[in-house]
Chain A
Amino acid sequence: MATKVGTRYMCTVCNSEFIVTRAGEGELMCCNKPMEIKAGGK
């Protein structure tokens, strides 16, 4: 699933968080696990 600019991703293992600044076809992985999209809090 491609990523969209501005989507926030969170790693459930090490709690690191990222914002996508440039879209791409890859899938974001961290600690060998797919990262979860963080629900828009605002």
Chain B
Amino acid sequence: MANQLGKRYRCGDCGMEVLCTKAGGGGVSCHGKEMEVQEPRPIPSSD
């Protein structure tokens, strides 16, 4: 699965996290496993 710009990826084994700063066709992996795409964190609402 391609790397998407701005998405954060996390490795389940060592807990390393990376932020994609340039999209690309390959899928980033760590410890031989595809890293998980992190969900965007909700911004605390101010209303």
Q: Do A and B bind each other?
A: yes
In the assembled complex, the CB of B22 is this many whole angstroms from the nearest CB of chain A, namely 4
Kindly provide the distance from the CB of B7 to the nearest chain A CB, expressed in whole angstroms. Answer: 10
Chain A at the B interface: SS class: strand
We find that the number of chain B residues with CB closer than 8 angstroms to chain A is 26
| Residues 1-16 of B contacting A (Cβ, < 8 Å) | 2-3, 8-11, 13-16
Q: How many residues of A contact B (CB 8 A)?
A: 25
Q: Indicate if the CB atoms of A30 and B27 lie closer than 8 Å.
A: yes
Evaluate contact between B26 and A11: CB separation under 8 angstroms: yes
Q: Is the CB of B26 within 8 A of A13?
A: yes
Q: What is the interface of chain B, defined by CB distance below 8 A to chain A?
A: 2-3, 8-11, 13-32
